Structure 1
Amino acid sequence: MSAATTTAPSPSEAPPLRPRGPFRRSLNRRYVITAYLFLLPAFAFFGLMFYLPIGNVIANSFNTGPQADVYAGLENYRRALDDSAVHNSFTVTVVFGAATTIGAIVLGLGLAMVLNQRLRGRVVFRAMLLVPYLTSVAIIGLLWRNILDPQLGILNRVLSDLGLPTQTWLNTHPLATIIAVTLWMNVGYTMVLFLAGLQGIPEEFYEAATVDGAGPWQRFWRITLPLLTPTTLFVSVMAVISGLQAFGQAYIITGGGPADRTDLYIFHVFNVAFTSRDFGYASALSFLLFLVIVLFTVVQLRLGRRGEVQY
């Protein structure tokens, strides 16, 4: 019998050397320190531009006076709860935010489904719809204020040429008008998001449903809409936040009027701070809106995650 022989593994087959003990802990510590050094600029940016202003607003909300330097405790918050002007601006903002959110989802999804088809010139139409979103709200506001002018606006001139009655858009339907302008401005963005969601749905799902005899509406309700739940959740959260923080539409197009019918919350806070010069009260109003936005966002995320569907 021949003696059994053993051969040493070749260098290519040898297991890789792994640091152990104190050297491994030191290496991990270096990785952590290096990661935090790379993250330090981001931390500094968020601290200076986000967390520090929030802390300053919270601190000022407990003060009063033109310079917000006289301690007032919770007086600003009690005043906000009893202020009818605040109640009106918050109601107007909730209506505005709800309408723009629902409109953004419905119109954005509808346009995305149309422009997701193989249509000639669809890229051009996508770009055209996205241009208003990429344009400054100041420019959009000035543009539409001129278009809607009852005397010199092009919209009333077109109605007059067609033999139709002209309208004083910013007096008879001011809130509906700025809602429509906001939807026109933002629908391109929501369309792009829904396009990305639609293109992420595997085509095999639709083919299998067609083989099983499902029609267009059944495919939409059973496949498209459930699988777009994450996209719809993101769009709704961003639309609610944007609607509650809207300012330029009221400031440029309507000036909050007529009779405070378009007095959006942020516009009201702006007037309190820079017209009435009550920075402490304006800080309290701002922090209350911050809490409302956080509450809406948490509720939307909780409800949206329950409705997620995976095939």
Structure 2
Amino acid sequence: MRTAYLFLSPALVFFGLFFYMPIADIVNTSLHTGPQADRFSGLDNYTDAFSDPAARNSFRVTLLFAAGTTAGAVVLGLGLALLVNRPLRGRTAFRLALLVPYLTSVAVVGLLWRNILDPQLGVLNRMLRDLGLPTQQWLNTDPLLTIILITLWQIAGYTMILFLAGLQGIPEVYYEAAWIDGASKWQQFWRITLPLLAPTTLFVSVMAVISGLQAFAQAYIITGGGPAGATDLYVFHVFEVAFRARDFGYSSALSVLLLFVIVAFTLVQLRAGRRREVEY
């Protein structure tokens, strides 16, 4: 037992210093108020969070963002995986091209699309003007949908790779037996592919929800949280409270609440996903 703890000690020290201690410090800060978070206020910051319209709006926006990116990641990733899993010419290059956006940093992607969608100098509006068509206010018409689509564009390659690995792990003998029994392609997909991809779908959905709830750069770089709070993602709101309003106690309370929400969503997804696997 001592030998086991000896080998585990570097990891335990690492997690203790860089994971558990910061969490404990944030929880402690959330119980204080003032410019330096030096006055103990108990649970006042938490009660303020539930009555704050800006916090409620940012949470609602984040839930919509997470739901959109999660559903899109599953559907788009599975669709692309089914496409590139077929014996197509040049599929390796196609897979690589889809993966490149995911390998690019979120900041670079945000700056790229902010410039592309710029109403005056953006490439899209310039193309529309060249074609004699009216230009669009891309980031004002439906900004939340816009950043959801940008996020899906970036993560599509990653989810495709995950589903592709799941597809290639399904034994071909199942499809051969289904074909002999006269099952159509759709029946094979519904009765074989989807059930056996349940663990992959669960992993993709859990990671997508966690990533969606923690999203920040899309609002910070592309839209600035606007217009009128339409893209005020929760973590961006925490950033605004902490570094612009300089209210570290309240921002810490918001962060702790987000941690509980992420844990709750993850547990619910894991329980529902495992129950579905048992049914299959």
**Whole-Å Cα distance in 2 between the matches of residues 49 and 285 of structure 1?**
20
Task: Choose the corresponding residue for 1:134, options 94, 103, 107.
Answer: 103
User: Comparing both structures, which one devotes a greater share of its residues to helix?
Assistant: 2
For the residue of structure 2 that corresponds to 1:150, the secondary structure is: coil
Amino acid at match of 2:117: L
| Equivalent residue number for residue 127 of structure 2 | 158
Structure 1 residue 285 and structure 2 residue 254: aligned?
Answer: yes
Structure 1 residue 84 and structure 2 residue 43: aligned?
Answer: no
Which of 32-41 and 298-307 deviates more?
32-41
| Equivalent residue number for residue 106 of structure 1 | 75
| Equivalent residue number for residue 25 of structure 2 | 56
Structure 2, unmatched stretches of 5+, are none
Shift of 1:304: 0.3
Let me know the Cα RMSD of the aligned residues: 1.1
For the residue of structure 1 that corresponds to 2:88, the secondary structure is: coil
CA deviation vs aligned residue, 1:259-284 (integer Å, no higher than 9, x gap): 01100000000000000000000000
**Whole-Å Cα distance in 1 between the matches of residues 140 and 230 of structure 2?**
9
Following superposition of structure 1 onto structure 2, how do residues 218-297 of structure 1 map, counting pairs within 5 Å? 218-297=187-266
Shift of 1:34: 2.2
Task: Choose the corresponding residue for 2:34, options 39, 62, 65.
Answer: 65
Runs (4+) of structure 1 moved beyond 3 Å? none
**Whole-Å Cα distance in 1 between the matches of residues 85 and 279 of structure 2?**
22
Aligned residues: percent identity? Answer: 71
8 A contact 1:227–1:310 mirrored in 2: no
**Whole-Å Cα distance in 2 between the matches of residues 45 and 163 of structure 1?**
59
| Equivalent residue number for residue 146 of structure 1 | 115
The change in CA–CA distance for 1:131 and 1:163 in structure 2 (over 3 A counts) is same
Shift of 1:35: 2.2
For the residue of structure 1 that corresponds to 2:277, the secondary structure is: coil
The change in CA–CA distance for 1:110 and 1:199 in structure 2 (over 3 A counts) is same
User: What's the TM-score once normalised by structure 1's chain length?
Assistant: 0.88
Amino acid at match of 1:231: T
For the residue of structure 1 that corresponds to 2:215, the secondary structure is: coil
User: What's the TM-score once normalised by structure 2's chain length?
Assistant: 0.98
Structure 1 residue 39 and structure 2 residue 13: aligned?
Answer: no
Structure 1, unmatched stretches of 5+, are 1-31
Amino acid at match of 2:150: V
8 A contact 1:109–1:190 mirrored in 2: yes
Shift of 1:43: 1.1
**Whole-Å Cα distance in 1 between the matches of residues 23 and 140 of structure 2?**
36
8 A contact 1:229–1:309 mirrored in 2: no
Amino acid at match of 1:88: N
